[in-house]
Amino acid sequence: MLYQEFLAGTKAHENSNTFGQYETIEKIYMDCEDMTKEDAYRLWKQTYGKQEKLDRERTLKMVQEMSEYRDPHNPSGESVLTPRQAYLRRKLFQIGISLTDTNKWNMGFDSELTTPFDNVTYKLEKYRKINGHRVARLIIFYERERYETALIYLMSDLRISAEA
C-alpha cells in the first residue's frame, strides 16, 4: 500500500503525525496475509481517525475564536477578560511576537509560520501604510480557509484593532 493510497482510502488529512500512523498501519497490513486494504483503512479509522476528527474540530474552533476575538471594553474604560478571552489574547500576541521576530519580517517582507502539529498557518501581512509606517494584520489559514484577526502591527507595536 502506497502512502497516497492510504491517504485516499482513509481520507486522513496529511500532517506531521499521518506518515507515522501510515507506517504503523502499513506494517500491520504487510504482516497479516489475509488483511485487505479496506481492513487496514478501517483499522486506522478506529485507532487514529476519531482522535484526528476531534483534533481538527478543536483546532477549527480555536481558529474561529481567534479570528472573532475583540477586547471587551466596559464603560469605565477597563478591559474585563474571561479566562478564555485572556487565553485567546495571550495566544494572539505570542503568535504576533513570533512573526515579528523573524528575519523575513525585519527585512520588510510578510512573515508566516506553520505549526506542524495542526497545519495552521499564521501570516503577518501588510495591508496599508500610515505616515510611511507599514500596518500589518495577522491572518490565519486553516484547511484552505482564510481567517482575518483583529491583531495588527503598527509602528513596532502589536495591538487588537477596534476596527476589523
The residue range of the domain holding 9 is 3-65
- Kindly state whether residue 73 falls inside one of the protein's structural domains: no
Question: Considering 19, 34, 65, which residue would you say is the last residue of a domain?
Answer: 65
Q: pLDDT per residue over 99-111, tens digit each? A: 999 888 888 889 9
Domain co-membership, 19 together with 47 = yes
Domain co-membership, 96 together with 48 = no
Domain co-membership, 46 together with 87 = no
Domain co-membership, 48 together with 111 = no
* pLDDT of amino acid 74: 57
Mean pLDDT for 86-114 is 90
Q: At residue 122, what are phi and psi to the nearest 5 degrees? A: -110, 135
* pLDDT of amino acid 164: 47
* pLDDT of amino acid 142: 93
* pLDDT of amino acid 92: 94
Domain co-membership, 101 together with 60 = no
Crossing angle for the helix pair 3-10 and 18-31, to the nearest 10 degrees:
100
Domain co-membership, 88 together with 146 = yes
- Kindly state whether residue 72 falls inside one of the protein's structural domains: no
Q: Cα–Cα distance between 99 and 101 in angstroms, integer? A: 5
User: Which residue's entry shows cell 505549526?
Assistant: 115
Mean pLDDT for 3-17 is 85
* pLDDT of amino acid 163: 60
149, 123 contact by CB (below 8 A):
no
* pLDDT of amino acid 159: 87
Domain co-membership, 90 together with 32 = no
Decide: helix, strand or coil at residue 78. coil
Mean pLDDT for 112-119 is 85
What dihedral angle (degrees, nearest 10) is formed by the CA atoms of 45, 48, 49, 54? 150
